[in-house]
Chains A and B, each alone.
Chain A
Amino acid sequence: MSLLPDTAAPARAEPATIEKVSIVISKGSLEGVYPGLIMANGARMEGIDANVFFTFFGLDAIRPDRQSRIRVATVGNPGLHLPTLLGALPGFSSLATRMMQRRMEKLDIPPVAEFVELIADSGAGLYACKATVDMFGLEQEDFVPQVSGIITVGDFYGLAAGGEIIFT
């Protein structure tokens, strides 16, 4: 008898499909917000149910007073391949953000406010994290109307049950 595990591939049925995703957006920079939004929109386009849970600075993406002020992090972002001191110059983050936004517009990627609306219209649920909302002293009125509610982590897990959770 061999001590090695049986390497024969088990018989498989049809490959499983993803039916539901619950995406957490926890960062408030441009590069922190967009991946989650793109994944949520992409899920709905494939007919996959989607929930988006905004927490910590990710809440900026659903605050009408902040949506248009979300910027690229030019300090502490090695992916930009720029000296940190250069990234810290006044106006540099705005410049990098404008460049990025122009490129995104060319690819038909909407600005944050419009994107959030598009995702809500596609039938995804948008939620704000209660712990952060309380910590920042915010209320439902501080968010765009597409936000379905302020929910606890427990509620989030309830909504996510049976699907995949993606943390960004």
Chain B
Amino acid sequence: MPTTTIADRVVETDAEGFLADPADWDHALGEEIARANGLPELTERHWQVIEFLRYRYLTTGTAPSIRSLGKESGVSVKELYQLFPRGPAKLAAKIAGIPKPHGCI
């Protein structure tokens, strides 16, 4: 596994920069990943999505689909695409420090 230095810490990531271990994550790391992926500032709405993704991943072992993200995170699909313009599910998962989602939906 390659390692990357994010927010002055050395962490293991996959080839695309998704954290290998969600336990390595903290808010500062999330902010740094967001900045590196074109999101200079995370709002309260971004955090709501990020926290929901982490909660779902850590409790169920899989990242939610865009459908359940829109239904259950409290942020609508329209807003998800505004918050994370280049693909909400994957970019948000990367910022949230969980593995890349593998579903097609």
Interface residues in chain A, defined as those with a beta carbon under 8 Å from any beta carbon in chain B: 38, 41-42, 44-47, 107-110, 114, 118, 121-123
Give the one of B65, B70, B89 with max A CB within 10 A: B65
Could you write out 8 A-B pairs with CB less than 8 Å apart? A38-B104, A42-B104, A45-B66, A45-B87, A47-B85, A47-B91, A107-B105, A121-B81
Using C-beta atoms within 8 Å of the partner chain, give the interface range for chain B.
10 to 19
B86 within 8 A of A: yes
Q: Is the CB of B87 within 8 A of A46?
A: yes
B2 within 8 A of A: no
The verdict on A118 contacting B67 (CB below 8 Å), with A44-B81, A45-B87, A45-B88 known, is: yes
Interchain CA distance A46-B105 in the complex, whole Å? 11
The verdict on A121 contacting B90 (CB below 8 Å), with A42-B104, A47-B85, A108-B67 known, is: no
The verdict on A47 contacting B86 (CB below 8 Å), with A108-B68, A121-B81, A122-B66 known, is: yes
Q: Is the CB of B81 within 8 A of A109?
A: no
